[in-house]
Chain A
Amino acid sequence: MWIETHNRFNDSAGRGPGPKGFRPVYLDDGFTLQDRFGVNLANLKAAFAPPADVRDTA
């Protein structure tokens, strides 16, 4: 089992936009990557969250 990310700059992998079927993850829906991969979704989400001043004006 593995994770491959599909972000803007995954250029070396030539992945481009992700496959069809992406569904959003809500942190309270029980989905976790912690046990299987050690990945903390809350930390990951926070890392990609827009800066606070952008959120405030949205």
Chain B
Amino acid sequence: MQAIALCRFSYPALGGFQITHDTVQDRIRFFYSPARLEERFKLFEHVALPCLRAQTDPRFSLIIVIGDSLPRPYNDRLRDLVSYIPQIRIESHAPQQHRNIMKKVLARARGDRDTPCLQFQFEDYDAIGTDFIATLRAEATASADLTSRYQAVAFDWHRGIALQCGPDGIGVAQVHHRLNVPALGVHIRAGSRLTIMNFAHHRLDRFMPVV
């Protein structure tokens, strides 16, 4: 069963972002400011990528969506960083409506709609447990009775660690959130056109069972 992750790396979509901007150009300027990108690259390199490289189940693919105007030095830096993880592919797109483009990217990555698949979002500044792919696959397989009856079933792990990094060091706190993006996966039944991007993550339980 395919496991597909989707990561938006400062992709200047139309919508889909908590801070609003008047124009796409304003958003691009904000996204691509050197201070912001520098912080994002540090978190990507030292938090997000290590957990992908350490996955105990390597059977997954991750598509990183970037804007086609991401400045060349950052584009090159990103490609260098992911070059040693064969499961990662980068797609560059012009600004488009957020959910539409993400659904298209996932549909293309899925390919064969006649088989079920697992999908999850992956933030470039967060981490999942090294057994996340293995556990998601195992739990989805063990829930075959449920997944056969619904087009989509979510699998959610609530416990996490909040991490704050800065010049004064690293701070941690244990946190507990439902339907948080990290470690939230969805099983899509064979034949269904749904994707995880059809739904806002914090509202998944309105549309499907959540394990």
Contact = CB atoms under 8 A, between A and B. Distances in A.
A1 B35 CA distance: 29
Contacts of B193: none
Given A7-B39, A43-B46, A18 B166 contact: no
Contacts of A2: 126-129, 132, 157, 159-161, 180, 182-183
Contacts of A37: 47, 50-51, 54, 127-130
Interface stretch (B58-66, B86-94, B99-107, B167-175): B167-175
Given A3-B162, A37-B130, A38-B51, 5 more contacts: A1-B157, A1-B159, A11-B36, A33-B127, A37-B129
Nearest to B181: A13
A22 B42 CA distance: 20
Interface in B10-67: 17-19, 35-36, 39-40, 42-43, 45-47, 50-51, 53-54
Q: What size tier do the contact residues of chain B reach?
A: 35 or more
Interface in A1-55: 1-14, 18-26, 31, 33, 35-41, 43-45, 47-50, 54
Interface of B: 8, 17-19, 35-36, 39-40, 42-43, 45-47, 50-51, 53-54, 123, 125-130, 132, 157, 159-175, 177, 180-183
Given A1-B159, A12-B17, A23-B171, A39 B46 contact: yes
A14 B19 CA distance: 8
Most chain B CB neighbours (cut-off 10 Å) among A23, A26, A47, A50? A47
A14 B74 CA distance: 23
7 contacts: A2-B129, A2-B180, A3-B162, A5-B126, A6-B162, A25-B172, A38-B127
A7 B183 contact: no
